[in-house]
Structure formats: C-alpha cells, structure tokens
C-alpha cells in the first residue's frame, strides 16, 4: 500500500464522513469528498483543507456511477480507498433536504406500517446504492491489484430496534455483503472491511432533523410512540466521539497506531457500546445453539433411502 493514499468518501457533508475526510487529510493522504448537488456547499471546509470535491448521488443509475468513477480516478490517477459511508442515521431529515450520501436514510416506523416504496427507498440508499458505487470502482482496483472498500456500518445490524426494522435489515445485509466481497476480491489483492459503529455524537439525531413518526396502523400506536420517544432521547447522550471513531478507521486502513503490525480482519467494531452489544449477541447465539443442539443435529440422513421426497 503506498505511503500516500487516495480516498474517495461518500457522504462527507457531515458526521462520520466529514471526520474521515479530515482525518485522512491530516495524515497527508489525498481525499475526494463527495455529496449530492444540494449539499456540495457544505464541503467548502474540506476543500480549504485540500480535498477535491465531486458530486455523487449513491442512488444514481450504475452507468452514471461508472462515469463518475472514471472522472474520480482521473483526479489523482487512482483510488486506493473507497468509503461507503451509508450507515449513520436512524432518522432522515425532512424529505426535501435528504442527502442520500450523508448517511443512511431510514423509513421510520414499525415494519408492517412501511409501504413498499418506503422499503425500496431504504434499501436503495443504505445498501443497493453503495453496492453500485462499489461496482463502479472495483474494476480500477482489480486492475491495479490493490485497494480497500470500506463500509461504514452500524450497531443496528445487531439490535432489534422497534421502528427501525428496515434500517437494521440493511445494516445486517451489509455485513454479509462485505464479507463475501472480501473473499471474492482476495485473488486481486483488494480487501473489503465493514466497520460496525456504535452511537456517535453526530448531527443525525438533532431534534430539528427528525421527521414525524410514520405511524398509520392504530394497533401499533402505543409501542411505536414509546420507542419513538426513546430513540429521540438519544441525542447528546451517545458515547462515541466522531473524531476518535474516524481516527480508528484511518489507523486500520493505513496499518498505523494501534493497528500497526496487527492482522486486519474484515469486520471491525468501533465504539464501547457496540462492543457490548456484539458480545451479548454472540453469547445469546451460542446459548440458542446449545439449548437446541439435539434437535438441530437430528435431521441428518441415516440410510440411502432417506432424503428423497416426491
């Protein structure tokens, strides 16, 4: 990996994406900071620090993303690190100001209450869009036999947060996507790393950015409103510092600081809270397996005549 890396980061107008850009620039790396057209003005600070700016909407069609990738590669001659920063938000800002590259968009409400359009929009912005962005840049990394694809994920992949079911599903799917992609890319010298972020103090939970609860089915009113209040109360109480989280990501990608000389795995937890959540999930999973071990292992074929159903 070259001493000076070239990063392309989606969603740099605020939050973790912005801090990642600042952290990478501070290491002497080159950064291409991206956002949708309506949020490009928020990138002025990054430009002043030395970042190149590029308009990019992760939900755009693949052929457009391929043209953007070609333009991005021409800026510095290559892309070493592609950061899919699509996992910051449990709530979207008002619809007319949504920047799909500033973090994940959430259809907020219980699963049954979400329309097919809500569901498709959620998966397009949080998962399928970043996947297409990755498809657009991978040919350049494979050709050079070098590169890293970064996925900024979330504790939501391991939790069962009422009103955020679709969001949690996109984050869980992103883990497996990254892991399989990492295996597929190994022969080409390219890696895929999923960073599992906990709750960090970014602008995403500011009360003025939160929409009304999307609640239509009366039967869910009580439970939906209860969880709505609990989630909105998170703002200002998140344990994670965005600057410190960004430094961890840059350390891991560059193999510096606490990551120097260590094996880099294809998933990495970032945040004291997410460590506890994942640990509890692993313990609970092992207990479920052990509790049902006899039943689970009772279904194997025992003679040649079994297993052939009409």
Q: Which amino acids are annotated catalytic?
A: 167
Residue 25: name the closest of 1, 53, 3, 51 by CA: 51
Q: Is 211 exposed, middle or buried (0-12, 13-18, 19+ CB in 10 A)?
A: middle
**71 to 27, 144, 301, 307: CA distances (angstroms):** 24, 17, 56, 55
The answer to whether 180 and 191 have CB atoms below 8 angstroms apart is no
Torsion angle of C-alpha atoms 229, 200, 101, 40, degrees rounded to 10: 110
The answer to whether 161 and 108 have CB atoms below 8 angstroms apart is no
Tokens describing residue 273:
């809270």
The answer to whether 10 and 84 have CB atoms below 8 angstroms apart is yes
The percent of the chain in helix, strand and coil, each rounded to the nearest 5, is 55, 15, 35
Q: Kindly give, in sequence order, each residue whose CB lies less than 8 Å from that of residue 238, ignoring residues fewer than 6 positions away.
A: 198, 199, 200, 201, 202, 205
Task: Report the residue count for the chain.
Answer: 310
Q: Is 307 exposed, middle or buried (0-12, 13-18, 19+ CB in 10 A)?
A: exposed
**199 to 178, 255, 295: CA distances (angstroms):** 21, 24, 38
């Amino acid at each position: 990996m070259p001493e000076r890396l070239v990063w392309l980061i989606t969603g740099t107008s605020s939050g973790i994406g912005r801090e990642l850009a600042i952290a990478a620039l501070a290491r002497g790396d080159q950064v291409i900071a991206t956002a949708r057209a309506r949020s490009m003005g928020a990138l002025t600070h990054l430009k002043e620090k030395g970042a190149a700016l590029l308009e990019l909407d992760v939900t755009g069609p693949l052929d457009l993303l391929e043209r953007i990738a070609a333009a991005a590669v021409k800026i510095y001659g290559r892309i070493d690190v592609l950061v899919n920063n699509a996992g910051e938000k449990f709530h979207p800002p008002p619809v007319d100001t949504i920047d799909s590259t500033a973090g994940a968009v959430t259809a907020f409400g219980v699963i049954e209450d979400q329309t097919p359009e809500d569901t498709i929009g959620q998966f397009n912005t949080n998962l399928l869009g970043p996947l297409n962005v990755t498809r657009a840049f991978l040919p350049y990394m494979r050709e050079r036999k070098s590169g890293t694809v970064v996925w900024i994920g979330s504790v939501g992949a391991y939790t069962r947060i009422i009103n955020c079911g679709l969001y949690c599903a996109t984050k869980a799917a992103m883990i497996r996507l990254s892991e399989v992609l990492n295996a597929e890319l190994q022969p080409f010298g390219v890696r895929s790393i999923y960073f599992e972020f906990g709750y960090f103090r970014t602008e995403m939970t500011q009360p003025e950015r939160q929409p009304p609860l999307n609640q239509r089915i009366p039967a869910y009113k009580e439970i939906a409103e209860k969880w709505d209040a609990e989630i909105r109360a998170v703002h200002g109480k998140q344990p994670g510092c965005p600057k410190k989280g960004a430094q961890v990501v840059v350390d891991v990608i560059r193999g510096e600081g606490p990551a120097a000389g260590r094996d880099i795995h294809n998933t990495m937890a970032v945040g004291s809270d997410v460590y506890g959540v994942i640990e509890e999930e692993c313990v609970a999973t092992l207990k479920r397996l052990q509790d049902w071990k006899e039943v689970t292992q009772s279904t194997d074929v025992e003679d040649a005549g079994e297993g052939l159903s009409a």
